[in-house]
Amino acid sequence: MRRIAITNYEDLYEVSNTGLIYSLDRVVLGKDGKLYPHPTKLKHPTFNPKLGYFAVDLYNQNQRKKHYVHRLVAEAFIPNPDNKPEINHKDSDRQNNQSSNLEWVTSSENSMHAYTQGFATQKHRRQLTETEYKIIYHRFVAGESLTEIVTSFPIQLSRCSVNLKKLVLKWGLVSEYQGAIQQQRIARAQKNGNKNRR
């Protein structure tokens, strides 16, 4: 694994060719005017389920700015002599931010890759597999709301709901699915009732 200082954040953060972000050892001036040690540690990125990307907040002189992890990796490890503006994930997995999986592309090249890989929406979300829908189904039957579940997958709520209904019919699980829907409606009604009594 290789690590390189992040441009404009030298001595503060480093990015690795495997997609990891490190906050470096330093002394930080607190709001109370005291100095506090800040040991090197691995930063934990947040996941944007709508876009499918990981992002981290970086600080410099008390100014916070959000950066996408794949862009930090590409800027550090991948030459861009033609100054191409966008970054493509070669395997179409937006969570795989290893430098070997990234490449600089034009907007048209990015769109063409998305098209050839079978993305169905304008935002290039990939199609979920039937196995992934089975995972969604089991989580739903176990009591999780579909709204909560889709945050773990690169798909819109409305599309997931439509596709899941079709597969439930195919699997012969309509009765169980409808029962889970009814149970969640009852649970929501009880929860709202308890809130109203407060």
Q: Quick one: average pLDDT of 62-68?
A: 92
**Domains of the chain by range and CATH?**
3-116 (3.90.75.20), 130-196 (no CATH)
Single-letter amino acid code for the residue at 58: L
pTM of the complete model? 0.58
Average pLDDT, the chain: 87
pLDDT attached to residue 118? 59
